[in-house]
Structure 1
């Protein structure tokens, strides 16, 4: 079974205050061309479900087209932390992280169609913890892995320092905790600081 964990892109999709909203319109209609409809869209690289490239928060960081694609395809562990105001290494006690390279955090904080005003705090110490446990991707159902008003982006930088890539804006409300196969490939956009993705989970037999 395939579970779509992407947020819908339309004119109502919430985005960071002041950032470029998503829009789609027809450039030419079939009636005009005589054969096809041709559309165009405009959006921020960080609207809805997206991957952050290190260049997003570090000027000499890697851009989106240079990220290793294998990080965004493979088994992922979904963890329910919906009761937590702060997510720390303690929330991973008792979990078997053997052979787990990707972790998705289900916080249930951003379930509606309004941009959240407050989100759980993700401890930057998770960066070194993930490195020790071989985890290379952190996915969240949040617009950011850092507090919404953060300027230092401590968790972004801690994850980068420890080789952990970032997937944000997931939709995990209908996903039970467990192991799935994740596919969440960023677009091949030269020089970009991020990219929207169509993220899916597949149940394992």
Structure 2
């Protein structure tokens, strides 16, 4: 029997924080049942990097792949959740003792975004050298429980670029507060947005 699903997505509500200056999330009814005579029809406005989302390489590389060009196999399958709570930066030595060989998807539980009603001032980020280390282990997707894999005020985005150069895609803003370290099945499919630089996802883990 398949294990239960664990939702690791940030709810999309009027209080979901966005990057400073980015498009805030809003939901309105374009038509009400009273107006249309039959149905309520909603309208959503939001940044593609709101809440739990994936980054397409085009987000930080103008020549990079856009969302619809990405391999869906990356976003569904075996994943390892690793607890790195308390670390300021995650470097290869922080994961050296983890069973990562053959783990195509690694999700890092940093615990550094504690109040998800406000955008954080500081987060745990990835050392750019981590990308090559993960690639050697066969990792193709990295997930983090913060808005970015880089320092929040970075313009160069060294971790983003290092991950791309090593064939590793990015999932950000997952919620791992109540998830125990270990092996799961991840399902975090992006929307089929043809020209987009990113996409919100409904990310879940299945116990295996």
Q: Summarize the alignment of residues 43-54 of structure 1 with structure 2, pairs less than 5 Å apart.
A: 43-54=46-57
Partner of 2:66: 63
Other structure's SS at 2:154 match:
coil
- Per-residue CA deviation, residues 14-46 of structure 1 (Å, 9 max, x unaligned), is 000000000000011111112111000000000
Partner of 1:148: 152
Tell me, in whole angstroms, the C-alpha distance in 2 between the residues paired with 1:52 and 1:121. 15
Other structure's SS at 1:51 match:
strand
Tell me, in whole angstroms, the C-alpha distance in 2 between the residues paired with 1:119 and 1:150. 12
Matched residue count: 204
Tell me the TM-score normalised to structure 1 length. Answer: 0.98
Tell me the TM-score normalised to structure 2 length. Answer: 0.96
Q: Flag structure 2 segments of 5+ consecutive residues without an equivalent.
A: none
Partner of 1:24: 27
RMSD: 0.7
Structure 1's consecutive aligned runs of 4 or more residues displaced over 3 angstroms after TM superposition are: none
Shift of residue 110, structure 1, vs aligned partner: 1.2
* 8 A Cα contact 2:86 2:112, kept in partner: no
Other structure's SS at 1:176 match:
coil
Q: Summarize the alignment of residues 104-183 of structure 1 with structure 2, pairs less than 5 Å apart.
A: 104-112=107-115, 113-183=117-187
- Per-residue CA deviation, residues 120-172 of structure 1 (Å, 9 max, x unaligned), is 13110111111111000000001000000000000000000000000001111
Tell me, in whole angstroms, the C-alpha distance in 1 between the residues paired with 2:18 and 2:204. 21
Shift of residue 99, structure 1, vs aligned partner: 2.3
Shift of residue 93, structure 1, vs aligned partner: 1.9
Other structure's SS at 1:172 match:
coil
Other structure's SS at 2:128 match:
coil
Partner of 1:78: 81
Q: Flag structure 1 segments of 5+ consecutive residues without an equivalent.
A: none
Other structure's SS at 1:55 match:
helix
